[in-house]
């Protein structure tokens, strides 16, 4: 049986792969020769797929049991497979073909012609075509750089349904230069927190609420904490603006003392931690950057669920574009504040295992390191 295919979007395909992997933990992922198409194999329900696409930042659609065609094959092979697919994977209700292009135009293939031909096959098989509001969309993703077409019934509309692509931090009532881009904040929340029902998410240093807003908007049980009352007040304004009546809790407190700061009902239930620490010397003056992170990681262990994950974002000297792959294990990075070796050892000292690291290019003088770690079970 063919696998499902995830069609990825956004500026960082490697992070988008990590996100869909975290949202669908029962799936085995294999990257196709395209950087934006990933095969998913495993026992995944339609409901799990819907939930993942709904809250993903970097996945535009999942194509169920997709047909995959490579440009070196004859186009008639593609249409034969689609013909069979429509018979073996029937849908009740009106349908339409939705074509999506990755990496420009695919040489020698007209998406319009291909979509028209598939539409004709659907009609011939008795499907009602409704181009305006079909009940089912057959997604056809043409990936020009890899010369691949993936085609299958779509989960997700392929559009920016929850607004994540077009949201800007600058649109919020309380904005500061430290405010994270919503697309990155959402990716980080999803990589750290996994499927929505897994557990609660805690933004350890909330600032203007970048992570808190994305966690709350994606339907997660959400907590945010910050030492600065002005930040908590501002983050609350942003939350009320983005999601009136949200249950997310914004707490004034110290992320190095989480047992005291978090309500009892959240203890041992935080399964996704997100951390965007202050630059340079922090509001706790006495701790340097690595020491602050170490104290926070230690404190997070005290309230963590046993399968918790964490995403940490750190500014670094620019590294160039590296959006297609994670960093290789052991690769050195030049952080803006503190030494990578010190940060790395804080993770093992406090009982967290680093899984993967990615870098993001921000501008000529700034990059970002995005790090995913998992809690190590205590003896």
Ligand X SMILES: C[S@@+](CC[C@H](N)C(=O)[O-])C[C@H]1O[C@@H](n2cnc3c(N)ncnc32)[C@H](O)[C@@H]1O
For ligand X, the closer of residues 240 and 321 by Cβ is 240
Burial class (CB in 10 A: 0-12, 13-18, 19+), 169: buried
Say if residues 210 and 275 touch (Cβ distance below 8 Å). Answer: no
Minimum Å gap between C-beta 209 and ligand X is: 6
* Shortest Å distance, C-beta 86 to ligand X: 46
Q: Give the nearest distance from C-beta 229 to ligand X in angstroms.
A: 9
Is 82 or 205 the residue whose CB approaches ligand X more closely?
205
Which of residues 41 and 228 has its CB atom nearest to ligand X in the complex?
228
Q: Residue 154 pairs with which residues in a beta bridge?
A: 63
Please say whether the beta carbons of 121 and 86 come within 8 A. yes
Give Cα separations from 213 to 240, 246, 270, 321 (angstroms).
Answer: 10, 9, 17, 28
Q: Which residues bind ligand X (CB under 6 A)?
A: 178-180, 205, 207-208, 210-211, 225-228, 231, 254-256, 276-278, 282-284
Sign of CA dihedral 2, 38, 203, 376: positive
Q: Return the closest-CA partner of residue 357 out of 349, 367, 225.
A: 367
Residues 337, 350: Cα–Cα separation, whole Å: 20
CB of 238 to ligand X, least distance (A): 9
Q: How far is CA 196 from CA 19, 86, 108, 338, 371, in A?
A: 12, 32, 42, 34, 20
- Report the residue number, 7 or 294, with the smaller CB distance to ligand X: 294
Cβ closer to ligand X: 228 or 288? 228
Cα separation, 109 vs 314, in Å, equals 43
> In the complex with ligand X, which residue's Cβ is closer, 152 or 367?
367
Do strands 222-226 and 200-203 pair parallel, antiparallel, or not at all (unpaired)? parallel
Least spacing, CB of residue 225 vs ligand X, in Å: 5
Shortest distance, position 367 Cβ to ligand X, whole Å: 16
Nearest-approach distance from CB 207 to ligand X, in angstroms = 3
CA atoms of 297 and 314, how far apart (whole Å) = 14
Residue placing its CB nearer to ligand X in the complex, 101 or 317: 317
């Amino acid at each position: 049986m063919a696998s499902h295919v995830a069609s990825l979007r956004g500026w960082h395909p490697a992070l988008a792969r990590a996100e869909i992997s975290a949202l669908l933990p029962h799936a085995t992922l294999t990257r196709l020769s395209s950087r934006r198409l990933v095969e998913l194999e495993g026992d995944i329900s339609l409901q799990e797929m819907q939930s993942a696409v709904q809250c993903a930042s970097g996945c535009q659609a999942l194509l169920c049991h997709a047909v995959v065609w490579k440009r070196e094959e004859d186009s008639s092979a593609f249409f034969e497979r689609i013909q069979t697919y429509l018979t073996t994977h029937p849908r009740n209700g009106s349908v339409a073909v939705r074509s999506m292009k990755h990496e420009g135009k695919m040489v020698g293939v007209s998406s319009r012609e291909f979509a028209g031909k598939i539409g004709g096959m659907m009609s011939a098989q008795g499907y009602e075509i409704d181009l305006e509001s079909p009940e089912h969309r057959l997604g056809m993703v043409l990936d020009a750089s890899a010369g691949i077409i993936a085609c299958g019934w779509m989960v997700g509309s392929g559009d920016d349904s929850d607004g994540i692509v077009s949201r800007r931090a600058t649109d919020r009532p309380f904005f500061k230069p430290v405010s994270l881009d919503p697309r990155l904040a959402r990716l980080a929340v999803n990589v750290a927190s996994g499927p929505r029902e897994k557990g609660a998410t805690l933004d350890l240093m909330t600032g203007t609420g970048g992570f808190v807003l994305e966690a709350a908007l994606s339907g997660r049980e959400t907590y945010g904490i910050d030492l600065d009352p002005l930040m908590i007040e501002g983050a609350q304004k942003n939350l009320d603006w983005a999601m009136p009546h949200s249950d997310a809790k914004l707490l004034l407190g110290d992320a190095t003392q989480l047992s005291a700061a978090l309500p009892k009902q959240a203890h041992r239930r935080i399964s996704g931690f997100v951390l965007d620490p202050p630059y340079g010397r922090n509001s706790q003056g006495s701790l340097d950057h690595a020491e602050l992170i170490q104290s926070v990681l230690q404190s997070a262990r005290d309230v963590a669920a046993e399968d918790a994950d964490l995403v940490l974002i750190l500014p670094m000297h620019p590294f160039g574009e590296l959006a297609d792959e994670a960093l290789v294990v052991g690769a050195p990075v030049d952080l803006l504040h503190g030494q990578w070796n010190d940060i790395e050892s804080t993770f093992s000292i406090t009982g967290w295992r680093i899984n993967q690291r990615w870098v993001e290019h921000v501008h000529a003088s700034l990059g970002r390191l995005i790090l995913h770690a998992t809690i190590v079970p205590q003896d």
